Structure 1
Amino acid sequence: MKHAVDVHVGKRIRHRRWMLGMTQQQLADAVGIKFQQIQKYETGMNRVSASRLWDIANTLSVSVAFFFDEMLDADAVDGAPDMDVLSSKEAMELVRAYSAIPEEQRRRLFDLARVLSAA
C-alpha cells in the first residue's frame, strides 16, 4: 500500500524533473539507477531512501526540503482527493512554456488569465 508521504515526494520529483525538461532516463543515469526505479519513486510505489533523495535533490538542483513542500499531515492526505493540477503532462508543458516567456509579457499573460478565470 502506498504511503501518502511517498506519493507526495514522488509527485515533487516528477514535477521538478519535468520543469527541467529531464527524462526519467536522464535522472536515473545521473543518480546511478535504472529508470524503472525513478518510475516507482514518482508513483509512490517505492519509498526513496534518504541518501537517494539527497542524490536526486542534488541532480535536480533543489534542497531535500523541496520534496516536502506543501505537504499536509499524512492523515489528511490519505483521505484527500488528488488535487495536484501539475500532475498532467499538459499542465507541466504549460508551466514550462510560461516560464520561458519574458517577464513583462508573462505579467500581462498572468493578468489576462486572472481576468478570464473571473469571467
Structure 2
Amino acid sequence: MDTQFGKRLAHARAARNLTQRELAEVVGITWSQISRYEAGKAKPRLAVLMKLAEVLGVDADQLSGDQAEEEGREITLNLTGREEARIEEFANANGLSFDEAVNQIIAAGLKTRLEGNLDMLAQLEEDVPGAYEKLVELLKKQ
C-alpha cells in the first residue's frame, strides 16, 4: 500500500457521496479509523481493505495502490551469501534472471505451503477471492 492510499480512499468515498461515518458503519469499523486512513496515519488490514473496495465499488489493488499485475511490487529480502549463491545457481540453470528466479521460488513455495495447509488456503480465499487461482496462473506463465 503506497503513501497515497488516504487520498484515494477519500476520493472514492466522496465519489459515492458518503460521509466517513456512513462508510465506517457499512464497513463495520469506527469513523475515526476512516479518518486515520484518509489522513495517512494508518492503513487497513487486508480484510478491511477488501470491504472498503467492495462498498466503494472500486478494485482493491487500485484503492491500495498495489498494481501488482501491471507494475509489480518491490520487496526487500535479506539473504545470506549462501542463499544468494543458491538462487544464482538456480537462475543460471534455468535461464532466468535473478529476479525471475526469486519470483518463481516464492510463488512455488507459497503454492506448496497453501496446499499443505487447508485452513490457510481457506482464509486466503475468504480474504482475497480468486487469489489461489491467480497464483497458479502465475506459476504456469513461469
* TM-score for both structures, normalised by structure 1: 0.52
1:54 and 2:50 are equivalent in the alignment:
yes
Once residues 61 and 8 of structure 2 are traced to their aligned partners in structure 1, the CA distance between those partners, rounded to angstroms, is: 11
What is the aligned partner in structure 1 of residue 6 from structure 2? 10
SS in 1 for 2:4: helix
Shift of 1:66: 1.8
1:64 and 2:60 are equivalent in the alignment:
yes
**Structure 2: gaps of 5 or more residues:** 68-72, 75-142
Please identify runs of 4+ aligned residues in structure 1 that moved more than 3 A: none
The size of the alignment, in residue pairs, is 68
| Sequence identity percentage | 32
What is the aligned partner in structure 2 of residue 42 from structure 1? 38
- RMSD of equivalent CA atoms: 2.1
Once residues 51 and 66 of structure 2 are traced to their aligned partners in structure 1, the CA distance between those partners, rounded to angstroms, is: 18
Structure 2 residue identity aligned to 1:21: N
Report which structure shows greater RCO (CA 8 Å, sep ≥6).
1
What is the aligned partner in structure 2 of residue 32 from structure 1? 28
Once residues 32 and 13 of structure 1 are traced to their aligned partners in structure 2, the CA distance between those partners, rounded to angstroms, is: 16
1:19 and 2:19 are equivalent in the alignment:
no
Once residues 27 and 10 of structure 1 are traced to their aligned partners in structure 2, the CA distance between those partners, rounded to angstroms, is: 14
Once residues 65 and 12 of structure 1 are traced to their aligned partners in structure 2, the CA distance between those partners, rounded to angstroms, is: 11
* TM-score for both structures, normalised by structure 2: 0.44
Once residues 65 and 33 of structure 1 are traced to their aligned partners in structure 2, the CA distance between those partners, rounded to angstroms, is: 20
